[in-house]
Chains A and B, each alone.
Chain A
C-alpha cells in the first residue's frame, strides 16, 4: 500500500518562500516588456477604407497624416482633386475628400500647401490612394493615440486585408514617412 505523504506546515511555508524568491529573481532578470500600441505600416496599407468603418470609435481613430517633407506641393494634387476635376479650385465638386477634411492653401505659383482637419477626417484613405497613385505618397494613414482606445484585439487589425496593422512600442507610437524622395534613398 502506498504511503500517504503528509506535508507539514513548515515544509509548505519553506517551499512557498523558495518559489517566491525564485520568482523575484526571474522578474529582476527579465524586466517587464515595454507597452505596445496598434499602428498602421504605411508601406503595407492598401487604403481599402475599412479603417473608417471598423474602428470602435466613431469617427475612427485612424486619421490621414501628411509629410510635408515628401509632398510636392502640386497644383494638380491627386490627393486633393477628384479624378477629372473640371477646375483646380477648392469647389466642393472638385474635392476628392468626401468629408472635406483636406484643405489647401496657396503658397506661390504653382505651389499649394495641404493640411488635414483631423476633426473631419474619418480615415477612409481616399486621399491617400490618390496621392499614392499620382503623387509622392506624402499622405498616409496612422492610428492617433490620443483617440485610440487601445483595444487588445483591434477591430480594424482583425479586418485589415493587407496585415498593415501591427503593435509597436508605445514609446515610438507612430510609423512616420520621412526623408526626401518618399524616404527612399537611391544608391
Chain B
C-alpha cells in the first residue's frame, strides 16, 4: 500500500525567499556597523599646516648616509670634517661620505656629542659628560649633575664647553678641563633674565659664526643670546603654527648656524626644518614634514621620540639631519638660484 505524501502548503520558492531574507537580516543586524562616525569636530586635523608650498622649500635632499648603530640619538661634526653619531652603547665615526672609520663603545646612549679641536670627543650621557680620546677610550668623566639632569646639547669653542641640561633647565659653562665656571639661563629679574622654560627634554645650544652663544628657550618659542658670564644680550621669540613661527609646547628642538650666519631650526610636532636670516626673518624651508617622515604621516606622537634627533651644518654648509626612525643622516643642499640667501652684509 503506498502512502501519499501530504500536499505542500507553501511552495519551495517561498522558503528560498524567506531564507534569503533571514540571512540578509542577520548580516545587516549583526555584521555591519551602522553607527554614526564621529563628527568632524572630533577630528584633529593638522593638514593645513603640514602641507607646505613647494616654492617655500629652498633646499633639496642631496643624499642619505645610512647608520649602522641602534637608536641613533646624537650627532656632531669634528673640526676635521668627521661625522660622529651616538647610538645605543656606541659612537660611530664616519667620513663626510658616510664611510665608517671607527666605532667607540660607550655605556648607554649619548644624548649629545661635541668634538673638541685636540681630537677628543665629548659625549653627553644622561647626567654627566664622558670624554673620549681619538681611539674611543674614556679618559675622563666630568661631574655627576644629579638625578634630574638630562643633557641634551653640547657646544664647544676655544675656551669653553657649554652643556645644556634640560632636566635642571640650565646651561653649564665648563672650561676645557671640565671645571664648572658659570650657570646660565636661570631666572633673574635683577639681570633681566626670564629663565629657561623647558617643558620637555629638548634644550639646544649653538654658536653663531661670530662665536656668540645662542640658547633655545623652548617654552618661550625662541632663542636667547648669552655672554660667557651669563648676561643676556638679546632674544627673539616667535610662537605660532604658521611657517615663520615655532609651534607646540616646546620648539625649536635643535638649532645650528651656517657660515653666513643663517640659522637652521628643527621643530617637533609639525616636523619641519627651516632657515632664518640673522635678522630673524624666515628665509625658507629646508625640509618639509613629508621629507622627514613616511608618506601620509606628517605628524607623529613625539613625547621624547620625534623623528629628528639632532642637527648639524658641515664645512660645505650642507644641513645634516639625524633621522632616528629612518636610521639615516639626511643631507640637504641649497637649491641654486632659489630665494633664501641671507641679506648682504653692509
Interface centre among A76, A135, A137 (most CB of B within 10 A): A76
Chain B positions within 8 Å of A159 at CB level: 33
- Min C-beta distance of B253 to chain A, whole Å: 11
Residue A72 contacts which of B46, B249, B302 (CB distance < 8 angstroms)? Answer: B249
A126 touching B109 by the CB < 8 A rule? no
B239 touching A76 by the CB < 8 A rule? yes
Nearest residue (CB) in A for B47 is A83
- Min C-beta distance of B246 to chain A, whole Å: 9
- Min C-beta distance of A80 to chain B, whole Å: 10
Chain A positions within 8 Å of B247 at CB level: 76, 134
A53 and B42 CA atoms in complex are apart in Å by 11
Interface centre among A47, A84, A186, A187 (most CB of B within 10 A): A186
Whether B201 is near chain A, meaning CB under 8 Å from some CB there, is yes
A137 touching B303 by the CB < 8 A rule? yes
Chain A positions within 8 Å of B219 at CB level: 72, 74-75, 110
B38 touching A110 by the CB < 8 A rule? no
Whether A133 is near chain B, meaning CB under 8 Å from some CB there, is yes
Q: How many interface residues does chain A have, given as a range?
A: 35 or more
Chain B positions within 8 Å of A130 at CB level: 44
B304 touching A133 by the CB < 8 A rule? no
- Min C-beta distance of A74 to chain B, whole Å: 4
Known: A52-B42, A72-B199. Is A181-B150 also a contact (CB below 8 A)?
yes
Chain A positions within 8 Å of B111 at CB level: 186
A133 touching B43 by the CB < 8 A rule? no
Nearest residue (CB) in B for A185 is B126
Residue A134 contacts which of B35, B39, B240, B302 (CB distance < 8 angstroms)? Answer: B302
Q: How many interface residues does chain B have, given as a range?
A: 35 or more
A159 and B300 CA atoms in complex are apart in Å by 22
Known: A84-B49, A134-B248. Is A182-B304 also a contact (CB below 8 A)?
yes
Give the contacts of B203-222 with A (CB-CB under 8 A).
Answer: 219-221
A135 touching B199 by the CB < 8 A rule? yes
Whether A65 is near chain B, meaning CB under 8 Å from some CB there, is no
A54 touching B35 by the CB < 8 A rule? yes
Whether A102 is near chain B, meaning CB under 8 Å from some CB there, is no
Whether B200 is near chain A, meaning CB under 8 Å from some CB there, is yes
A126 touching B43 by the CB < 8 A rule? yes
A28 and B253 CA atoms in complex are apart in Å by 59
- Min C-beta distance of A116 to chain B, whole Å: 16
Whether B28 is near chain A, meaning CB under 8 Å from some CB there, is no
A78 touching B248 by the CB < 8 A rule? yes
Chain B positions within 8 Å of A50 at CB level: 38
Give the contacts of B29-50 with A (CB-CB under 8 A).
Answer: 33, 35-39, 41-46, 48-49
Chain A positions within 8 Å of B303 at CB level: 132, 136-137, 182, 184
Residue A186 contacts which of B44, B150, B221, B299 (CB distance < 8 angstroms)? Answer: B150
Whether B241 is near chain A, meaning CB under 8 Å from some CB there, is yes
Whether B197 is near chain A, meaning CB under 8 Å from some CB there, is yes
B221 touching A76 by the CB < 8 A rule? yes
B248 touching A76 by the CB < 8 A rule? yes
- Min C-beta distance of B339 to chain A, whole Å: 25
Whether A165 is near chain B, meaning CB under 8 Å from some CB there, is no
Contact with A along B213-243 (1 / 0, CB 8 A): 0000001110000000000000000011110
- Min C-beta distance of B309 to chain A, whole Å: 12
Contact with B along A49-83 (1 / 0, CB 8 A): 11011100000000000000000111111100001
Nearest residue (CB) in B for A183 is B303
Contact with A along B232-270 (1 / 0, CB 8 A): 000000011110000111100000000000000000110
Known: A72-B250, A74-B249, A78-B248. Is A136-B200 also a contact (CB below 8 A)?
yes
A49 touching B43 by the CB < 8 A rule? yes
Chain A positions within 8 Å of B200 at CB level: 72, 135-136, 181
A73 and B301 CA atoms in complex are apart in Å by 18
Nearest residue (CB) in A for B251 is A134
Whether B108 is near chain A, meaning CB under 8 Å from some CB there, is yes
A78 touching B42 by the CB < 8 A rule? no
Interface centre among A52, A53, A54, A83 (most CB of B within 10 A): A83
- B-contacting residues of A (Cβ < 8 Å)? 47, 49-50, 52-54, 72-78, 83-84, 96, 98, 110, 124, 126, 129-130, 132-137, 159, 180-182, 184, 186-187
What are 14 pairs between A and B in contact, CB < 8 Å?
A53-B37, A72-B219, A72-B249, A124-B38, A135-B199, A135-B250, A136-B200, A159-B33, A181-B150, A182-B303, A184-B304, A186-B111, A187-B88, A187-B109
What 4 A-B pairs have minimum CB-CB distances, sorted nearest first? A72-B199, A134-B248, A132-B301, A134-B269
Known: A74-B249, A133-B302. 20 other contacts (CB 8 A): A53-B35, A74-B199, A76-B221, A76-B249, A78-B248, A78-B249, A84-B48, A98-B39, A98-B42, A124-B38, A130-B44, A133-B46, A133-B300, A135-B248, A135-B249, A135-B250, A136-B200, A184-B303, A186-B111, A187-B126
